[in-house]
Amino acid sequence: MKKKNKKVKNKKSKDKKSTIRKLGMTACIFTLCFLGIMANLGRILVVHGKEYSESAYNNQMKNQILSPKRGKIYDVNGNILAMSVPVETISINPGKVAYSNKKSVKNETLAQGLATTLELDYNEVLEKVNKKSSVVVIAKKVSEEKAENLKSWMNENKITSGINIDKDTKRYYPNNTIASNLIGICNDDNVGTIGIENRWNSTLTGTAGKIVTMQDVNKNPISDETEQYVPVENGSNLYLTIDITIQQIAEKYLKQAVEQNSCSGGGNVIVMNPQNGEILAMATYPNYNLNEPYAIEPTGALEVWDTYTKEQKTEAYHKLWVNKSVSQLYEPGSTFKIITAAVALEENIVQTDTENDFMCTGAYQVEDYNIHCWRAEPHGSQNLRQALCNSCNPAFMQLGQRIGATTLYKYYEALGLFDQMGNDVAKTYPSIFHKLKNVGKVELATISFGQRFEISPLQLITAVSCVVNDGQLVEPKIVKQIENSDTGVIEVQEDKKLRQVVSKETSEKIRNMMQSVVVEGTGKRAAVEGYSIGGKSGTSEPMSGNEEAGYVASFLAISPVENPQIIVLTVLYDPEGESFQGGQTAGPVAANILSEVLPYLDINKTGENVTTKEKTTATVPNVSSKTVAAARNILEEYGFHVNSNITGNESTSIVTDQMPKSGTLLEKDADVYLYTRRK
């Protein structure tokens, strides 16, 4: 009996130990789990706490983005050139199109209905309908009329959901092709891609606003007190300096000239006010319809166009859209002789009517090159006026040698020919000149009559505007004022007078010689009856090895000569008609434009209504050989501003040259430029 009790006791003891072990293991497992949970909780709080907190906050927040309205573009008189109109974006939820009669409709039927009402390609629509995506955009920028047709079709077919019609805006251009290469276009997201639309995109776009509200787990608003409102800032309106009437006149005669002269490279015209730099017209031909920028095959041959890659088509379209006035460089040819003549007169190297000053034998020998005049019959003995009237290359090569490359380049820089002008209009490219150190006798000869370097038409007309505007360089301007479309506040874009480059006397001499060019020289076809017109023709030949580029014919005209208020530059690329000479092809374009623009601007035939405000002037003193510090004091006493290339101590640097020269009658507050060397 005792033995049996002992066995029972041992068994109970073993059961007790087993229970304790199990409890211990359970406790260990529980502890480990607890520690794991705490560790994970710590990881969440420490490592990902901020992330999860923000996620929870974002889940509670609802942001409603408020899109700004894109600003309008007006001409100088308030005529609308670009605006945004309401349109619709059509999208579908494939596979979720619901019908009230619960009848299933095949994708083919759905695609056919969408394609018919929206005037789209059936196969392209069907491909989208068959997609497995949650949302597929069928068409953007759909007119309200087409959207209404779609709604009617949906009602007829009892479609209740799955087709989405969302509000959007589309850029609209009321004048279609007018100023197309200047204004530019927007993409489907209403972002400017080229022209004014692109260069002023941030101003036109504005800033998006938003409404932020708290919401519960069911996405319902919690309270109006938690709502935050960030107001939208609509895009500003631009008022350009462009006058749509003058723009239409310029485009009419440019188109006529390009077609009559078979200009394979097209052409461009700039009409500017030289006194304040305002661009009144900027035309390019061929142009395009801003509302249908992809409607024309730029190649003109559909069979060739169909072989183009996507990249080639994009490049072709951009060539069609480009603004040649600012984004295409060219050799200005003999129109540039105005600049060479102005430098020579300003430096007192030549006078306008010194007899037998130049000799033309039909060609001019420069090192191993015999550079010919444009005319086979020699011009013989000439003065500067006659050389400009005859557009004589040998005479200007001789003049260039007298001036020298260093002096020419100094004036080129002062005239802004090394600057990129027109960045507020479109993408521009830097001019192409020989480096000064590489300018030898041959290079000096060719640049003197306007060849073997490239500038933009806008750079040329700006430089010549300076020369005829009493020597005052003014920055070209395309935007006259910016209007805040929310407040109506106007920000006027001030004229920017940059610097005085040549004297008033030099300017008067140049204008007088330009009038002689029209009266008795190569510019006779630019004359306008009853008006005083000055001008200069230009014809540049293609470089050797690039003959397919063809000639460039151009003409630059000013009026009235006594006090120019209008300057017109016409450039025709590769004319292949009866003549490629600038005076014969481009001169009449300038005459036609001026014959309509001058009366439109109420400039009478004698120029008597031209008024100038009284200006306080002073004669520039001679400060050469003085220190910069001393020269600055003298010039400031005369009321002038001083600009210098000095980088060191003004008390130890000597003035070696000045611009304008001493004796020049100059407006007070004008700039005088000092050039120095170390003492």
Instruction: For the chain, list the domains and their CATH numbers.
Output: 64-239 (3.90.1310.10), 326-600 (3.40.710.10), 617-678 (3.30.10.20)
The C-alpha atoms of residue 454 and residue 447 are separated, in whole angstroms, by: 10
Of 336, 398, 338, give the one whose Cα is nearest residue 373: 398
**What Å distances lie between residue 70 and 4, 167, 197, 202, 534, CA to CA?**
102, 15, 10, 10, 43
The C-alpha atoms of residue 23 and residue 21 are separated, in whole angstroms, by: 5
Is it true that the peptide bond before 286 is cis, omega within 30 degrees of 0?
Answer: yes
* Greatest mean pLDDT among 194-203, 299-308, 480-489, 577-586: 194-203
Of 30-44, 454-468, 568-582, the least confident: 30-44
Residue 9: pLDDT band by 50, 70, 90 thresholds? low
The C-alpha atoms of residue 414 and residue 412 are separated, in whole angstroms, by: 5
* Greatest mean pLDDT among 69-73, 131-135, 270-274, 576-580: 270-274
Is the predicted pLDDT of residue 421 greater than 80, yes or no? yes
State the pLDDT at residue 497. Answer: 93
State the pLDDT at residue 653. Answer: 82
Residue 615: pLDDT band by 50, 70, 90 thresholds? very low
Instruction: Tell which phi-psi region holds residue 43, choosing left (phi > 0), alpha (psi between -120 and 50) or beta.
Output: alpha
CB 364: neighbour CB atoms within 10 A? 22
CA angle 321-325-329, nearest 5°? 100
Residue 334: pLDDT band by 50, 70, 90 thresholds? very high
State the pLDDT at residue 445. Answer: 96
Place of tokens 């005319």: 375
Is the predicted pLDDT of residue 227 greater than 70, yes or no? no
Stretch 557-575: mean pLDDT, rounded? Answer: 96
Of 52-66, 261-275, 640-654, the least confident: 52-66
Of 336, 317, 384, give the one whose Cα is nearest residue 357: 384
Residue spans of beta strands (DSSP E) within 582-648 = 617-619, 641-644
pLDDT in tens, 495-548: 999 999 999 999 999 999 999 999 999 999 999 999 999 999 999 988 777 778
Place of tokens 């003999």: 334
The C-alpha atoms of residue 201 and residue 462 are separated, in whole angstroms, by: 25
Of 4-8, 90-94, 379-383, 512-516, the least confident: 4-8
Of 10-19, 364-373, 506-515, the least confident: 10-19
State the pLDDT at residue 611. Answer: 34
pLDDT in tens, 24-49: 677 677 777 777 676 666 666 565 55
State the pLDDT at residue 570. Answer: 98
Residue 326: pLDDT band by 50, 70, 90 thresholds? very high
The C-alpha atoms of residue 433 and residue 421 are separated, in whole angstroms, by: 16
The C-alpha atoms of residue 540 and residue 553 are separated, in whole angstroms, by: 7
Of 90-99, 114-123, 494-503, the least confident: 90-99
Question: In sequence order, what are the residues at sequence separation of 6 or more whose Cβ sits closer than 8 angstroms to the Cβ of residue 531?
Answer: 559, 560, 594, 598, 603, 605, 607
Is the predicted pLDDT of residue 248 greater than 70, yes or no? yes
Do the strands 159-161 and 472-474 form a parallel or antiparallel pair, or are they unpaired? unpaired
Is it true that the peptide bond before 560 is cis, omega within 30 degrees of 0?
Answer: yes
* Greatest mean pLDDT among 60-69, 391-400, 425-434: 391-400
Is the predicted pLDDT of residue 668 greater than 80, yes or no? no
State the pLDDT at residue 57. Answer: 46
Q: Are 537 and 583 in contact (CB under 8 A)?
A: yes
The C-alpha atoms of residue 314 and residue 384 are separated, in whole angstroms, by: 49
The C-alpha atoms of residue 515 and residue 137 are separated, in whole angstroms, by: 62
Q: Are 556 and 568 in contact (CB under 8 A)?
A: yes
The C-alpha atoms of residue 212 and residue 227 are separated, in whole angstroms, by: 6
Statement: the pTM of the whole predicted model exceeds 0.85: no
pLDDT in tens, 651-660: 888 888 777 7
The C-alpha atoms of residue 433 and residue 450 are separated, in whole angstroms, by: 11
State the pLDDT at residue 613. Answer: 36
More confident residue, 414 or 99: 414
CA-atom Rg of the chain in angstroms: 37
CB 563: neighbour CB atoms within 10 A? 19
The C-alpha atoms of residue 648 and residue 661 are separated, in whole angstroms, by: 24
More confident residue, 615 or 426: 426
Whole-number percent of the chain with pLDDT over 70: 83
- Average pLDDT of the chain, as a whole number: 84
